[in-house]
Amino acid sequence: MIYTVTFNPAVDYVMHPLTLDMGFTNRSSSEEVRCGGNGINVSSILNELNVDTICLGIIAGFTGDYILDTLQSAGVTCNFVRLDKGFTRINVKLNGIVMTIINGMGPKIPNDKVDELFGRLDRIKAGDTLVLTGSIPKCLPDDMYQIIMTRLAGRGIRFVVDAPGSLLLQSLESEPFMIKPNNHELGKLFDVNPETPEECMPYARMLHERGAQNVVVSCGGEGSALVAADGNEYITKCPPCHLVNATGAGDSMVAGFLASLDRGMSYQDALNFASACGSATAASKGLAKRATIDKFYASLQGVMAEYEAEKAKAAKCAKNADK
C-alpha cells in the first residue's frame, strides 16, 4: 500500500482573467475548482494508474468537505483527520498573461489533532510506502517529516520525500527510498545552476551517497536524471509536450516512478514512465488521465531511441578520436 500525507491541502480556485489591473474590477473568462496538495496529487495519479493508495492529511470546514467528496467520488481512499474549527485553505490562481498565485494560510492545527494523525500513521506496516511531500503549515514544526520518519523508523516502511531545502536534507538521515528534487531545488542545495540531467547527475550522486536510495531529479523539458538504488545512473527525456499547466507534474512523476517499480519495471523504464506521467500532467488542465499518460509514454519510446542512437554515435566518434 502507498500512503500519502498532505498537511496543508487546499482548494485551488483557478481563474482566467481578461485583465489584471490593480485598483479596478477585473473579470474572468472562465474558472476551475480543483483539489490541491502534493500528497493528494500523488494519490490521485496512483488511483488513475490503478495502484492501491490511501490519502492521509488534515482537513477542516466546507472546503475540507469539498476535497473529501471530490477524492472519494474519483475512487481515492481517504483517511483524513478533521479539525473542529477553521477551514482548509483556498489558493487563488490568476492564470492570465503571467500566472499570479495567492495562497491561503490554512487553519491552526491543535496538538491533539497531530497526535490523531500520528495514530493513523502508526498503522502503516512493513513493506508499505509513505510519501511525504508538500509544505508544512507554520503552526507545526518545520522538521515534521523527520519527526514522522524517526517515529516510524525500524518498521520496514519505505519513505519517499519530495520537499525543498532543509526538509529534504533532514530526510537523508532516514535513508529514504526515494527523493525527487527538481534541478532548481538541487541548485539551491549546492549553490549551482544545473539545467540538464547530465549537469544534475553529480549532485544527485552526492545525495545518493548521503543516504537516499533513489534520487530522481526532474529538469523540466530537458528530461530527468536518476541515481538508482543499484548504484547506476539513468537519464530520460521528455516526449513532445505543449505546456498547459505545470502544477502537479512533479507529483505525477513520483506516482509514476513508484507505480512502475512496484510492477517490476526496470529503473530505466520506471524513469521513462515517470517522465511520461509528468509530461502528461503538464499538458493537461488538471492532473493527467491514464489515456494521456499512455499516449505520452508511447511517444517517449521514439524519443529515447533517438537519444540512445545519438549517444552511441557520439561515443563512437570519441573512441575514433582517441586512436
Judge if 263 and 309 occupy the same domain: yes
- 229 lies in some domain: yes
Q: In this structure, what CATH number is given to the domain that contains residue 49?
A: 3.40.1190.20
| The pLDDT of residue 89 | 95
Whether 167 is covered by a domain: the verdict is no
Residue 312: its pLDDT value, please? 76
* pLDDT for res 9: 95
DSSP 8-state assignment for residue 174: G
Quick check: 117 pLDDT over 80? Answer: yes
The residues assigned a catalytic role are 251
Query: What is the residue range of 68's domain?
Result: 1-19+27-159
The 10s digit of each residue's pLDDT in 163-214 is 888 888 989 999 999 999 999 999 999 999 999 999 999 999 999 999 999 9
Query: Is 0.75 surpassed by the pTM of this model?
Result: yes
Q: Report the distance separating Cα 321 and Cα 323, nearest Å.
A: 5
Amino acid 319: pLDDT: 67
User: Does some domain include residue 168?
Assistant: no
Averaged over 43-49, what is the pLDDT?
A: 97
Residue 309 has pLDDT above 90, yes or no: no
Answer whether residue 165 is part of any domain.
no
pLDDT of the residue at 95: 82
pLDDT of 321 over the 70 cut = no
Q: How many domains does the chain contain in total?
A: 2
Which class for 120: exposed (0-12), middle (13-18), buried (19 or more C-beta within 10 A)? middle
Same domain for 63 and 139, yes or no, is: yes
Average pLDDT score over the chain: 92
Percentage, residues of the chain above pLDDT 70: 97
169 lies in some domain: no
Q: Is residue 164 one of the residues assigned to a domain?
A: no
User: Could you tell me if residue 171 is inside a domain?
Assistant: no
- pLDDT at residue 40 tops 90: yes
